[in-house]
A and B are shown apart, each in its own frame.
Chain A
Amino acid sequence: MNRFDYVRPATFAEAIAAASEPGAAYLAGGTNLLDLMKGGVVRPGRLVDVSRLPGLGAIEWLADGGVRIGALVRNADLAHDPEFARRFPAVAEALLSGASAQLRNMATVGGNLLQRTRCAYFYDVAGACNKRQPGAGCEARGGETRNAAVLGWSEHCIATHPSDFCVALVALDAVVEIAGKRGERAVPLEGFHRLPGETPEQESVLEPGELIIAVRLPAEAASFSRHVRYLKIRDRTSFAFAVASAAAALRIEQGAIVAARIALGGVAPKPWRARLAERTLIGVGPDRPHFDRAAAAALADARPSGDNAFKIELAHRIVARALALAAAGTPARLPALPASPFAPVAGVLHA
């Protein structure tokens, strides 16, 4: 591990000033950043530890029914907040389907949004990676590409964004609150992460020194609470990143869908909102043919980035299944195996 400075600012302003220097990085739960540092994947010259900054640790209910989640709220605390889980069950389910209990106890909301890709070549410091070293090339191309993206990738980078939490959030129109040298701003999560294009090293719209201070969910997001699910396919039953995942939310009135939200995970460089697919569902009945049509729309632009064509079909099926699960109704209790197809829900496959 390289030598680095460690600072623990007392205020936002101090934090932002300290992190604006080149080579500085914020440290929150450290579950991602410290691993990367130990592997030499990132080598920050200065760690700005915000984990004790006051004012970032609360879940606040807003007057209009929305919620504001401080950037330092732990993943576990948020998922287990009863009021939060009641209004946003799929977000809680997504959180609990991620990582392990120990990691969720440590990981923060802000850190989850900014966790780096799990591309094996990003971790393999001996190989070329445009994210680690802009312009070096992308060794993932032509290599082991099972986990690579099928949507939104470019010739320069085919990596996926690994977060589960973000998929549910982006489906529900979450907004990221950011503080920087020029004050505070709010950015919809959908526009927060960037596609790789020619600059895969630029992963978000954050400017140097900018700090995530909160994530907001609008009141409308809770209006889906009766028909909202997160579904995650993985190589083992728990403690694995998604091979592909989907969040689906429906508002159903008199047998017809009046509002729909769909997002995909594990298949794109960012949490992937499928707006066109959502539109195909407005006004139709909640049944499998419509869900299949929506799924097809969600994957219309998908193309393999290597040996991963199966993910297109798989993602299609996950979207259709997540919609069917959402239509069947949010379970009264969070399943013991969150977001797993093995959480028993009778009759779902035949919905």
Chain B
Amino acid sequence: MPEIVLSAAPAHLRHGSTIGQPLTRRDGILKVSGGARFAADNHPPGMLYAVLAVSSIARGRVALLDVAAAKAHPGVVEIMTSANKPPLALDPDAKTNPFMRRLELLQNDRVRYANQPIAVVIAETLEAATEGAALLSPRYEEEAPRARLDAAESFVPPAVGVGQPSETEIGDVEAGLARSSRRIEATYETPTQFHNPMEPHAIVAAWDGDTLTVDTPSQGLAMAQARIAGLFGIPAENILIRSPFLGGGFGCKGLFTGPQVLGIMAARLVGRPVKLVLRREQMFGPVGHRAPTRQTLRLATSADGALLALSHHTRTASSTFDDFFEPASDVSHTLYASPAIRTSYEAVRLDTGTPTFMRAPGEASGSIALESAIDEMAEACGMDPLAFRLRNYAELEPISGKPFSSKALRACYAEGAERFGWQARPLKPREMCDASGLLVGWGVGTATFPALMFQGQARAVIRKDGTGIVETGAEDMGQGAWTALAQIAADGLGLSLEQMEFRSGSSDLPDAGIAGGSAHTATAGMAIAGAGAEAIAKLAALATGDERSALFGAGNAGVIARGGRLFRRDDESRSESYADILNRAGLAEIEGRGSSAADPVAQANYAMHAHGAVFAEVKVDPELGQIRVTRLVGAFAAGRIINPRLVRSQYYGGMIWGVSFALHEHGAFDSRSGRPMNPNLGEYHVPVNADIPSIEAILVAEEDRHVNALGIKGVGEIAITGTAGAVANAVWHATGRRIRRFPITLERLTEPLPR
């Protein structure tokens, strides 16, 4: 284990549980002082630097690489190409489960997208490797790339997202549409987006015979370990992956990527440790993106504004060689009550890298379209958009008819609207102006995200000195797993944070599942709680069965674990410390194991989602078109809150991504070459501080008895949804212009002036 010294928790704010307390990040001081060691900070002795050479064409084949010129460059040690790459045990194009990407590992000379790795240059210095890569001067046989959503024939994908059906219908949508005089039909477009975590994919790989040590950021350690094991034909136990800190992931560090494998192959080829770090522009291709969508929504209501039909059709794209279809329509399954709902998909194949999970995959892109359409429908009904949403509030999950495990969305609407001052909103657009003459608009959007759970495991130990250890291979992408999971661990063992050590971020620990789907706290947390409970149960069995113990005979009354002692539940004056129990039993330690998984019975009977309501104010300069989001208020209900400070910052982050979705993010491609044209953070815009002058997140109380025993839903992705639509709706309210192509840029808002 690398030395990771977390900050001591502050003196307890209150007695009792650690869960629920707003602790600051325990890795915070390490991060701000440079003490947190990220993957690329590792420099094992003898390490070489590897740099990818990537394709500048999007489709065709590599005809020639000037390997001799690159190799002759001083400092260059080796060039890895398809000719000399180490053998693999598995075809990189094999796909045995949906959580697996087909990879470009120099298997042949084909180029399937721009920025695809075509060789790896390994050198004594980063500079030499970089120049070596330039000296390869590739020649290509180029074919015309397909770069736009219209560039190919569409087909109906067999499934979208992860195995979700590409067509779903309840009721009769066409009949509903035909029956109503109030209908809208609108088409919305969302662009290609790139995850762009601050930390690029990086790997430091060191082989020792057939064992491998890897430092690399990963949102799923066990999955990564299995992927490497399969590709190199070695047992998973031979592979140690350390990933204590991720500089952001957003989905692109979920499935193991080609460049990471190439780093391991390079180390094998040269027989020395190798470090490979992607350049920012190389993040625009081989590590996934959010696919563009074109979504057509058709809605109809009765005369009093009740939805009669909702149809959500998405055209999206995957790569030519692998499948990931952004499940944008599915958000319409769960949000608004309608007797008839239909979701459907078509897709094209483009010469791009394969898209993947990105910050609320499907929910974010689908939500901005659905929330815009709901607003358009409210307008057509002459209704306030919030009133319209309440009119169509779903008491049961519309697509399944199941009750919700919990749903405090009404409270979210009410508390958010109150805080924002929504009731003062004029119904018509373009009625509000500030003192400088800027147009002001208010918009609302509903946030939603499923409460998922994966499988995870954890181990808890109580030692004879009364302290504890909890271990699970969780991943902290910055969201605060080091802190929140430790809080759960402390409560599970009945110890304070100071009395226990929390170990995480490494593949030799129990598999904590993936940090994705906003499910990590629930998944890892339930495993941790289970491990703690088992350790405590074993301890209790020792004590209650031992006549020398103050707890002897507690039997059915049971015990409570708190502050390092067990107490008789029916008589708290009788207690004993963990240390005393273990020492008397002559045990050095006692161990508990826990595992977690979604409860199939609860899943069969309940729909499980987190919800929220986001209110946005924008200002628009009517002549110049420049837009600014001047106020954001979000109210979210997501079950049990483990750490309100961390949760609030997740909501802030999500809301900012929502602004980013509505107004900024856009991966530009040249349609002739298929190359990304803004592959850097100077031109691929995300909001800066000046774009977010005021942001508030309200934590709405919600108790959920069904999602899991801890009552935890996810908070990581939900706030993107709702926010993006709220911003778009506010732009309409400010200007009277409904922009259906995202991001909304200023030239779409500048209006012709009478002159």
Contacts and interface: CB of A to CB of B under 8 A. Distances in A.
Interface of A: 1-3, 38-40, 118, 120-121, 123-127, 139, 142-144, 146, 233-240, 243, 292, 310, 313-314, 317-318, 321, 337, 340-342, 344-350
B40 to A, nearest CB: 16
A2 B663 CA distance: 38
B690 A337 contact: yes
B622 A349 contact: yes
A120 B679 CA distance: 9
Contacts of B685: 235-236, 240
A234 to B, nearest CB: 7
A314 B624 CA distance: 6
Contacts of B680: 123
A233 B624 contact: yes
Contacts of B668: 120, 144
A8 B439 CA distance: 54
B535 interface: no
Given A124-B677, A126-B56, A342-B626, A238 B690 contact: yes
A341 B624 contact: yes
Given A3-B131, A237-B688, A342 B437 contact: no
A1 B127 contact: yes
B746 A243 contact: yes
B670 interface: yes
Contact of A236 (B281, B670, B687): B687
B436 A347 contact: yes
Given A234-B626, A236-B685, A344 B436 contact: yes
B130 A1 contact: yes
A1 B131 CA distance: 5
**What 6 A-B pairs come out closest when comparing CB atoms?**
A349-B437, A126-B56, A237-B690, A238-B690, A310-B747, A120-B677
Given A3-B74, A314-B746, 5 more contacts: A2-B131, A127-B670, A237-B690, A345-B436, A349-B436
For the residues of B in contact with A, the DSSP-based class is loop
A340 B668 CA distance: 25
B478 interface: no
A120 B688 contact: no
B747 A314 contact: yes
A111 to B, nearest CB: 16
A2 to B, nearest CB: 6
Contact of B675 (A127, A238, A310, A345): A127
Contacts of B691: 236-238
B688 A236 contact: yes
B28 interface: no
Contacts of A120: 668, 677-678, 683
6 contacts: A40-B134, A126-B675, A139-B670, A236-B691, A237-B688, A314-B746
A238 B281 CA distance: 22
A341 B672 contact: no
Contacts of A349: 436-438, 621-623
A235 B672 contact: no
B664 interface: yes
Contacts of A139: 670, 673
B558 interface: no
Nearest to A99: B682
A234 B436 CA distance: 19
B625 interface: yes
A314 B690 contact: no
A317 B687 contact: no
A243 B747 CA distance: 10
Nearest to B689: A238
Contacts of B687: 236
A143 B753 contact: no
A317 B436 contact: no
B242 interface: no
Interface residues of B, number: 46
Given A120-B678, A233-B746, A342 B628 contact: yes
Contact of B664 (A39, A125, A235): A235
Contacts of B624: 233, 314, 317-318, 321, 341
Contacts of A1: 127, 130-131
Given A127-B675, A236-B685, A243-B746, A314 B436 contact: no
A344 B619 contact: no
Interface of B: 56-57, 74, 127, 130-131, 134, 281, 434-438, 619, 621-626, 628, 663-664, 668, 670, 672-673, 675, 677-678, 680, 682-683, 685, 687-691, 745-747, 750, 752-753, 755
Most central of A38, A118, A123, A342 by chain B CB within 10 Å: A342
Nearest to A314: B750
A337 B134 CA distance: 41
Contacts of A121: 677
A321 B436 CA distance: 13
B647 to A, nearest CB: 27
B585 to A, nearest CB: 60
A127 B436 CA distance: 45
Nearest to A313: B750
Contacts of A342: 438, 619, 621, 626, 628
Given A1-B130, A2-B131, A310-B747, A233 B622 contact: no
Nearest to A43: B134
Contact of B626 (A143, A233, A239, A344): A233
Contacts of A144: 668, 670, 677
Nearest to B748: A310
Contacts of A237: 628, 688, 690-691
B436 A348 contact: yes
Contacts of A344: 434-436
Contact of A235 (B436, B670, B746): B746
B672 A317 contact: no
Contacts of B673: 126-127, 139
A143 B131 contact: no
A239 B688 contact: yes
Nearest to B439: A349
A287 to B, nearest CB: 15
Nearest to B670: A143
A234 B746 CA distance: 8
A125 to B, nearest CB: 8
Contact of A142 (B434, B672, B755): B672
A279 B626 CA distance: 29
B675 A124 contact: yes
A213 to B, nearest CB: 29
B707 to A, nearest CB: 38
Contacts of B672: 142-143
A292 B437 contact: no
A3 B663 CA distance: 41
Contacts of A142: 672
A348 B437 contact: yes
Most buried by A among B622, B664, B682: B682
A143 B57 CA distance: 15
Contacts of A321: 623-624
A29 to B, nearest CB: 16
A346 B626 CA distance: 17
B531 to A, nearest CB: 45
Contacts of B755: 292
A337 B691 CA distance: 11
Contacts of A143: 670, 672, 677
Contacts of A39: 281
A139 B670 CA distance: 10
B441 to A, nearest CB: 15
Contacts of B623: 317, 321, 349
A348 B624 CA distance: 13
A292 B745 CA distance: 24
Nearest to A309: B747
A13 B127 CA distance: 31
A269 to B, nearest CB: 19
Nearest to A40: B134
A196 to B, nearest CB: 20
Contacts of A337: 690
